């Protein structure tokens, strides 16, 4: 299954957003991960970006903000893919 991008909640019941980043890193190609948090936490924001998150968003946000995050993440992924010459890989089912 192909994932263009993944949104991971900062507070998951069965893991962490860092686990999602680690899983995305095992894909054959780049899979951008945006971390979503209920709180504007600067420390968490910096931590997520340092660990490789494509973006970090905090509600309230609407369809335009989500679309912007996706466009930017997919654009960066495409640029990375073209630069590396590797195809975009697939991840197993991450959420149901």
Residue 41, token pair as written in the block = 């936490």
6-84: what fold? Rossmann fold (3.40.50)
Indicate the domain borders of the chain: 6-84
Greatest mean pLDDT among 3-12, 55-64, 73-82, 86-95 lies in 55-64
Residue in 38, 24, 12, 11 with CA at minimum distance from that of residue 73:
24
pLDDT tens readout for residues 56-78 = 999 998 999 999 988 888 787 66
- Residue 13 clears pLDDT 60, i.e. is over it: yes
pLDDT tens readout for residues 36-57 = 999 899 999 999 999 999 999 9
pTM as predicted:
0.73
Residue 66, token pair as written in the block = 């989500």
């Amino acid at each position: 299954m192909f994932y263009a991008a993944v949104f991971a909640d900062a507070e998951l019941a069965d893991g962490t957003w860092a686990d999602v980043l680690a899983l995305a890193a095992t894909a054959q190609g780049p899979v951008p991960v945006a971390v979503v948090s209920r709180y504007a936490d600067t420390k968490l924001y910096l931590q997520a970006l340092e660990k490789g998150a494509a973006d970090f968003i905090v509600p309230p946000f609407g369809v335009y903000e989500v679309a912007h995050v996706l466009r930017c993440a997919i654009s960066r992924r495409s640029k990375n893919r073209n630069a590396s010459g590797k195809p975009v890989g697939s991840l197993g089912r991450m959420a149901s």
